């Protein structure tokens, strides 16, 4: 596994300045946040050229973006939104940067409570089939993330590995994988090891965050949250996961930059501890 920090840990900085902070803190890998991707795209011009220029800068500072988050506010099944055109642009940017795994949220269609879960699944499948066709033959995998549902909505789709695998089985696994968000899972199904084992080889990306089950607090491990991190790391080792161990912890960034640096240094020690001490899940 590779230690990684989500770029939005430095949300107040430009993408380039965030890279400089990663270099300063000794982080060689990162997930490009959708906020920083949006900043790059807002500069205009060819997204491929923008991506290549940013990759060149990151390479010069020994940082690689192997993972990225596609537009968070996108609603895959909303016909009023130019989903395909928008995501094609993001795909071009991500590929030029060198991103291999692009995290995407399915559409829970919570604004359409009259729809059955089967209808929600089928509508997501139809869009994912089109996206998979766009990516055929390209070195970019869409990683579908487990979700916790929206405030005020009883629907959490997709919450578990079974629902994510349903999409992969029907769309094909050539350009589809799974992203586990440990914080989301702690608010829904809770059994991290079972999710990891079931996802198996399809698990391509991680969002590492903790909470105390009162909300999606995005905390660092071994603090106020109650995720069983030894169980998580044991299961990851069991399936041979070798991707990014990516911290997604916006709950830890409301502090001065200097304090964030200290936290980033501490998290390197947490990662080393887990790699050394993680037991085999049973």
19: CATH: 3.20.20.150
Alpha carbon 227 to chain centroid, angstroms: 18
Q: Say what the pLDDT of residue 151 is.
A: 60
pTM: 0.95
pLDDT recorded at residue 264: 98
Domain-embedded: residue 263:
yes
The predicted pLDDT at position 155 comes to 73
Segments in the chain below pLDDT 50: 280-282
Which of 136, 188, 140, 139 lies closest to 162, judged by CA? 188
Whether residue 238 is contained in a domain is answered as yes
Region of 209 (left: φ > 0; alpha: ψ -120 to 50; beta: rest) is: beta
Per-residue model confidence (pLDDT) at position 156: 83
Nearest 5°: phi and psi at 215?
170, 175
Q: What is the pLDDT of residue 175?
A: 93
For residue 149, the model assigns a pLDDT of 73
- Contact partners, residue 137, CB within 8 Å, separation at least 6: none
- Domain membership of residue 265 (yes or no) is yes
Q: How many domains does the chain have?
A: 1
Q: What are the phi and psi torsion angles at 225 (to 5°)? A: -80, 175
**Is residue 211 in a domain?**
yes
How many Å is the maximal CA-CA distance in the chain?
A: 52
CA distance 222 to 226: 8
Q: What is the pLDDT of residue 154?
A: 61
Q: What's residue 240's pLDDT?
A: 97
pLDDT at residue 241, as a whole number = 98
Compute the distance between CA of residue 188 and CA of residue 213 in angstroms, rounded to an integer.
9
pLDDT at position 2 is 98
Q: In this structure, what DSSP letter does residue 235 have? A: H
- By residue range, what is the domain housing residue 82? 2-277
Spatial distance between the Cα atoms of 82 and 131, rounded to a whole number of angstroms: 13
Residue 280, pLDDT score: 45
Residue 282: inside a domain, yes or no? no
Report helix, strand or coil for 119.
helix
Whether 209 is covered by a domain: the verdict is: yes
What is the SS3 assignment for 101?
strand
């Amino acid at each position: 596994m590779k230690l990684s920090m989500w770029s939005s840990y430095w949300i107040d900085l430009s993408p380039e300045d965030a890279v400089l902070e990663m270099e300063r803190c000794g982080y060689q890998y990162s997930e490009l946040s959708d906020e920083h991707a949006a900043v790059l795209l807002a500069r205009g011009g060819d997204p491929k050229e923008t991506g290549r220029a940013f990759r060149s800068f990151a390479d010069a500072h020994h940082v690689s973006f192997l993972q990225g988050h596609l537009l968070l506010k996108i609603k895959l099944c909303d016909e009023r939104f130019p989903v395909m055109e928008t995501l094609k642009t993001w795909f071009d940017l991500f590929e030029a940067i060198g991103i291999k795994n692009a995290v995407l949220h399915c559409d829970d269609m919570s604004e359409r409570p009259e729809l059955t879960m089967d209808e929600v699944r089928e509508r997501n499948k139809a869009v994912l089939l089109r996206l998979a066709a766009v990516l055929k033959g390209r070195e970019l995998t869409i990683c579908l993330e487990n979700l916790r549902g929206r405030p005020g909505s009883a629907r959490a789709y997709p919450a578990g590995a079974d629902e994510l695998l349903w999409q992969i089985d029907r769309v094909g696994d050539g350009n589809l994988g799974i992203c586990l968000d440990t914080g989301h899972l702690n608010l829904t199904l809770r059994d991290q090891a079972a999710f990891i084992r079931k996802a198996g080889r399809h698990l391509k990306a991680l969002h590492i965050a903790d909470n105390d089950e009162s909300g999606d607090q995005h905390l660092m491990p071994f603090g106020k949250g109650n995720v069983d991190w030894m169980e998580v790391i044991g299961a990851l080792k069991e399936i041979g996961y070798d991707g990014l161990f990516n911290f997604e912890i916006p709950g830890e960034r409301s502090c001065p930059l200097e304090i964030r640096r200290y936290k980033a240094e501490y998290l390197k020690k947490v990662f080393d501890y887990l790699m050394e001490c993680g037991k085999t899940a049973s």
